[in-house]
A and B are shown apart, each in its own frame.
Chain A
Amino acid sequence: MSGRAAAEKSSTMTGANEFKLTQGPEDGVSAVKFSPSSAQFLLVSSWDCTVRLFDVSTNSMRMKYQHLAPVLDCAFYDPTHAWSGGLDSQLKTHDLNTDQDTIVGTHDAPIRCVEYCPEVNVMVTGSWDMSVRLWDPRTPCNAGTFTQPEKVYTLSVAGDRLIVGTAGRRVLVWDLRNMGYVQQRRESSLKYQTRCIRAFPNKQGYVLSSIEGRVAVEYLDPSLEVQKKKYAFKCHRLKENGIEQVYPVNAISFHSVHNTFATGGSDGFVNIWDPFNKKRLCQFHRYPTSIASLAFSSDGSLLAIASSYMQEQGDVSHPADAVFIRQVTDAETKPKST
């Protein structure tokens, strides 16, 4: 550690393998996403209406662009293009080489999710206007609008399929190559509002979290034998003075190599889980405030942790919002063979 303690870094180190990003957003963080090709670059979208690009190897902000209103999600199309959307309902793409913006299109209500599907080469957005829209990233232009039963709260891409989590605990699985009909209509197996859905890197299923300190592991194959494997577990709950405090699980991110996943809750903890052995691998120290977003780098070496108060208790004062970058080890993320 002493070896790489550059003057600026040592002041931002928050652990042996962890540091805090400087020049971070000035309001809550809504999403963090690593570049698909490199663990060096991270996009951070925020309630301060900006999207920022960070170089985590030097802990510096490389670029920043604006939306009219808070940005709720961002994603890389490729290493040089960022896409983002938020309360202004505008979908923007920003060229990271030329530092130029383009407004690609809009939704009729705030955009909540922005994701990229490499297999089909399409950008996907989900919005509170109850629709999912596809966008061709090259032109760029709209490639279809698809109505969902409810406001879209979360979505995730699994190969060429799209899993959408909406209000009302609905879950829909779409085939991105054939959006004429919904491939699967499901209901969340959790009884409370869906918070986040993330697909397994192996595309066999997805993990779904709710506001009630619970996570479900589900499979896409509708056959009975596979469906029997699904399960759920409680997490992100703290016992204090005999009362159990149950926290929303806001963020999920998969380790691309090990197929293990991290969850972040409003309790300020990050847990890493092994879904195959159904065990928790690791829990990090408690962060200053709620975990709003998590992202593993594509090589699985880093985990970006957005510790950002999400108004669970109303508009009260809270510890400063920040993004932490943590080096993770195999011991923390690799399933243990027993």
Chain B
Amino acid sequence: MGRKKKKQMKPWCWYCNRDFDDEKILIQHQKAKHFKCHICHKKLYTGPGLAIHCMQVHKETIDSVPNAIPGRTDIELEIYGMEGIPDKDMQDRRRVLEQKSHAESQKKKQNQDDSDEEDDEDEDEAGPSSFQQPAAQPQAAYMPPMHPGPQAQGMLPAGYPGMPPMLTGVPPMIPGMPPVMPGMPPGMMPMGGMMPPGPAMPPMMPGMPPGQLSGPSSTTSDSPKVTFPAYTQPSSTPPVAASSSTVAKPPATVTSKPATLTTLSATSKLMHPDEDISLEERRAQLPRYQRLIPRPGQTAAVAASAPPSGAVGGMIPAQRVIPPQQPGIRHPIHGQYGGPPQGIPGYMAGGMPPYGQSAPMVPSYQAGPPGPPMGIRPPVMSPGSRY
């Protein structure tokens, strides 16, 4: 026919605009998500096939393809994988993809220029001011340092070498910018603003979140995906029933990215307390457990005096005496294991207060994500690093 190979672009699903690495996977996806009978769960091969099945077997009519985006729900269109996609939509998509990649490269350039103008956006440079800007424009400042290469967002595979440099640079910023920080942790505390600097930060810092947040990583998410093709498979695997189409996934296309975050978006809620401490740590803070925890002095004494056997009975009562003497001491305990002995000073400092008082933080599960930093969430998708 004289036109270009139709496989030039990556396979994508016409019904929901998602990208896939392989047409086979695309077909599996379509069968599971769009051509599956809601009554008996039988997987058909096409939309019309599903309609006929429902009519013949269940005597039910269906008028739209399940899990399809508006405008793409036509049940009478015979689409199988990439075959049958109307030319117009094909071209639309190609155009959109091209626009996207142009926009990204332009944005990248722009960001780099901006950051050059600003005062040394090195991670080593401290100062709250340098932090403000990133919030305003998508962490523009942060990019260059974090940007080891065009793709891959310096996913520093498995984070080997990457960590140390990050850590040294970041801590100086932290104390200055608690309100801005929220922008950083991708998806962690989307609530621009309130996030408890302490608990949220530690997890972020070592994790090169700055790198993640940088604009390019979000905008070039298409390309890095190819390096981890395996990632797309599980998402589209039928048995993983829990995955929902509203939550953006790495193979997610251009259109769905800005709308949803991986979590903590308007459509998803993380069933976990806000602070980034483990559930056990949180529970251990409850008064009824706090009073059982022996104080440092006593613990050592006990260990020293513990005979190999038999004395246990004798010891326990002695221990029990201790708790009443300590009226709900919270902080010293946290000092024990929250303290900076080996921790990175930068975020330890931030980390202290939240233990005691942070709870009131914006109890935000639902992310109302105002603020530009939200938009940067996409790095979450980047298969090169985090899932």
- The one of B163, B235, B267, B293 that contacts A243, using a Cβ cutoff of 8 Å: B267
Say yes or no: A191 contacts B187, CB within 8 Å. Answer: yes
Say yes or no: B234 contacts A314, CB within 8 Å. Answer: no
- The one of A98, A170, A230, A245 that contacts B309, using a Cβ cutoff of 8 Å: A98
Looking at the assembled complex, report how far the CB atom of B206 sits from the nearest CB atom of chain A, in whole angstroms: 5
Given contacts A193-B278, A212-B263, A214-B387, contact A69 B293 (CB under 8 A): yes
User: How distant is the Cα of A112 from the Cα of B226 in the complex, in angstroms?
Assistant: 38
Number of residues on chain A facing chain B (CB within 8 A): 92
Say yes or no: A312 contacts B202, CB within 8 Å. Answer: no
Contacts of B296 in A (CB 8 A): 108
Contacts of A130 in B (CB 8 A): 337, 341-343
User: How distant is the Cα of A195 from the Cα of B159 in the complex, in angstroms?
Assistant: 19
Say yes or no: A245 contacts B294, CB within 8 Å. Answer: no
Say yes or no: B263 contacts A100, CB within 8 Å. Answer: no
Contacts of B286 in A (CB 8 A): 311, 315
15 contacts between A and B (CB under 8 A): A47-B283, A68-B294, A68-B319, A70-B284, A103-B306, A149-B343, A191-B387, A192-B187, A222-B158, A228-B228, A231-B228, A234-B243, A238-B242, A244-B268, A245-B269
Say yes or no: B159 contacts A187, CB within 8 Å. Answer: yes
* Closest A residue by C-beta to B379: A191
**A189-228 with Cβ < 8 A to chain B:** 189-193, 195, 211-214, 216, 222, 224, 227-228
Q: Is the interface of B mostly helix, strand, loop or mixed?
A: loop
Extra contacts besides A110-B293, A110-B337, A278-B233 (8): CB < 8 Å = A89-B299, A149-B342, A189-B385, A190-B386, A191-B207, A230-B228, A234-B234, A234-B242
Contacts of B312 in A (CB 8 A): 65, 100-101
User: How distant is the Cα of A88 from the Cα of B206 in the complex, in angstroms?
Assistant: 29
The answer, yes or no, to whether B62 is at the interface (CB within 8 Å) is no
Residue-wise, chain A 23-39 has the 8 Å CB interface mask toward B (1 for contact) of: 00000101000000000
* Closest B residue by C-beta to A237: B242
The answer, yes or no, to whether B188 is at the interface (CB within 8 Å) is yes
* Closest A residue by C-beta to B239: A280
Interface size class of B (residues with CB under 8 A): 35 or more
Contacts of B246 in A (CB 8 A): 244
Contacts of A128 in B (CB 8 A): 281, 337
Q: Measuring CB to CB, which residues of chain B are less than 8 angstroms from any residue of chain A?
A: 157-160, 162-163, 186-188, 202-203, 205-208, 212, 227-228, 230-231, 233-235, 237, 239-244, 246-247, 262-263, 267-273, 276-284, 286, 289, 292-294, 296, 299-300, 302-303, 306, 308-310, 312, 316, 319-320, 336-337, 341-344, 366, 380, 385-387
Say yes or no: B271 contacts A248, CB within 8 Å. Answer: yes
User: How distant is the Cα of A266 from the Cα of B273 in the complex, in angstroms?
Assistant: 12
Say yes or no: A278 contacts B272, CB within 8 Å. Answer: no
- The one of A72, A103, A153, A231 that contacts B303, using a Cβ cutoff of 8 Å: A103
- The one of A65, A129, A149, A312 that contacts B279, using a Cβ cutoff of 8 Å: A312
User: How distant is the Cα of A232 from the Cα of B387 in the complex, in angstroms?
Assistant: 6
